[in-house]
Amino acid sequence: MFGRGSLTPNEMTPTLTPARAAPLSGGQANASTPLLTDCLLVGHAKSAALVFAFEQWFALCLHMLQGNNFFLMPYRRNDGCVKYARSRPVSKRGPCVRKRIAWAWDTMCGCAKFAGSIGFYPTNENGQSRWAAFDVDAHDGDTERARRIAGKLFAITVEHPQLFVVLSTSGNGGWHLHLFTADFKARGEWSRLLRQIADMAGVEIKKGSVEIFPADTRGIGYAIRAPGTHNPKTDRCGEIAFESVSNAPFLCEAALLLGSSHKEITSLCTRLTTREENGGLPSSEVSPVFRGKNGQWRAQFAITAPQQRHEQLTRLVGTSFYQCRRAVAAENAKLQHCEANPTPVASLAGHLAEFNEAWNGMERQWLGTLTTRERIHFDELTDAQRAAFRVIRNWSRDPKNDSQDFGVSAASLARRLGLTTPGACKIRNRFCSLGVLRQTAPCVAGKKTARYAWLASEPAN
């Protein structure tokens, strides 16, 4: 069953009345189809590659895989025929899901040589799922009808705090509405819930018009593409109109473990899906989350009094921004809320949303401090490299450092970025090849860390 206070068919109606109503994109609001004002402007939809960091999207795909050893492979053959093939199980040497996820991501980024996509099945071998979806089709060309229906369904689901939502275009005029939970629910509970939502919205579930995943069918049922992926029928990628899942604690935890770029992810997806209850990798393979030097952030930013949460969160963001990666800082914010005594009035979701807002504000201010050359370098980097750029630049400007160079410990950098030490070494070497850093002294094992000079702010030759 859905947990206490959650969206159940019997309890749903009184708790999910949308309070803020407005049309989807201009015009007069229809009293019979109330829609939220703060998210659904179709013109604001963006590529998933601009909405999510790769680690977030990768973690989202693993969440949708939910332990299955097969997935959906949508593609277009050389003769133009579109196929939706189910992959063979890994035990029978089927394709690797991590490579398919990376391929789908590269396609959304526009850097794949050939288009690739991926989809997932909303049921595992235990007849359970931790996500569900509506597929609102526009096969008849009536995109306005599809938009209205998607808006009605969205207006109901987005009001419920236990559902994390992604609303996206499907790449062919239709819409996909994905719903996520942290825990598994029975397939039957999901299908009843989706039908109840559709009934509240006055929407008919009908094949070719509005379909639900999972449906009331036996077996694993049909799959649906991941949000924002390539549609082989139209050769277009979907776009994200609204999402609340990036703030979900379960996604933040999983994304934290994924490392820097998708090219460095090896068998992590397998380890995550086989250790879901532990949140990912075993403790022997992942260092504890970085919480400041000697773990001092736990006490320094602890919430120990009423009405102290906002102030302590602001202080945490102001300090962690210069010292670690965003996902690492988000994990600190989560721990800050969970360890608070007394318990804050604000929910964890609200706490993390406030964290994101504060972090984004810090980032806008910080970008304005970069020199022209630093900004050119920064814009060409991956997400993990950008975090390393920010941390190492801060080290280079330490007022306690009287020399022209400074130490860059790969082990310390790795903990701050949530990477392995070899991964941090690769970033450090990459910066040297780009002219961001120059090594001035090698490391001496067990004695001295390698030292570097910051070159990125110097005028180009």
Which three-class secondary structure state does DSSP give residue 427?
helix
State how far the Cα of 181 lies from the Cα of 130, in Å rounded to an integer: 5
* Predicted pLDDT at 458: 66
Burial of 286 (0-12, 13-18, 19+ CB in 10 A): middle
The CA-based angle 111-113-118, given to 5 degrees, is 80
State how far the Cα of 243 lies from the Cα of 245, in Å rounded to an integer: 6
DSSP label at residue 293: G
Burial of 114 (0-12, 13-18, 19+ CB in 10 A): exposed
Which region holds residue 104: left if phi is over 0, alpha if psi is between -120 and 50, else beta? alpha
**Residues 61, 100 contacting (CB under 8 angstroms):** no
Residue-wise pLDDT for 176-229, tens only, equals 999 999 999 999 999 999 999 999 999 999 988 999 999 987 778 899 999 999
Q: What is the mean pLDDT of residues 90-97?
A: 62
pLDDT band at 19 (very low <50, low <70, confident <90, very high): very low
* Predicted pLDDT at 256: 60
pTM above 0.95, yes or no: no
Greater pLDDT, 279 or 47: 47
Q: What is the mean pLDDT of residues 275-287?
A: 32
**Residues 58, 265 contacting (CB under 8 angstroms):** yes
* Predicted pLDDT at 118: 96
Instruction: Count helices and strands (H / E) in the chain.
Output: 16, 14
* Predicted pLDDT at 130: 95
State how far the Cα of 228 lies from the Cα of 83, in Å rounded to an integer: 18
- Phi and psi at residue 21, to the nearest 5°: -120, 140
Q: Which pair of structure tokens corresponds to residue 325?
A: 């990666």
Q: Measuring CA to CA, which residue among 266, 228, 244, 235 is closest to residue 118?
A: 228
Residue-wise pLDDT for 139-150, tens only, equals 778 899 999 999
Q: Measuring CA to CA, which residue among 85, 101, 132 is closest to residue 273?
A: 101
Q: Which pair of structure tokens corresponds to residue 401?
A: 């450092």
Q: What is the mean pLDDT of residues 292-318?
A: 95
Which residues, 6 or more positions from 159, have their beta carbon under 8 angstroms from its beta carbon? Answer: 16, 17, 18, 19
Q: Measuring CA to CA, which residue among 337, 395, 329, 334 is closest to residue 363?
A: 329
Greater pLDDT, 159 or 201: 201
Which region holds residue 141: left if phi is over 0, alpha if psi is between -120 and 50, else beta? left
User: CA neighbours within 13 Å on the CB side: how many for 452?
Assistant: 24
Sign of CA dihedral 40, 44, 46, 52: negative
Which three-class secondary structure state does DSSP give residue 416?
helix
Percentage, residues of the chain above pLDDT 70: 81
Q: Measuring CA to CA, which residue among 36, 46, 448, 55 is closest to residue 246?
A: 55
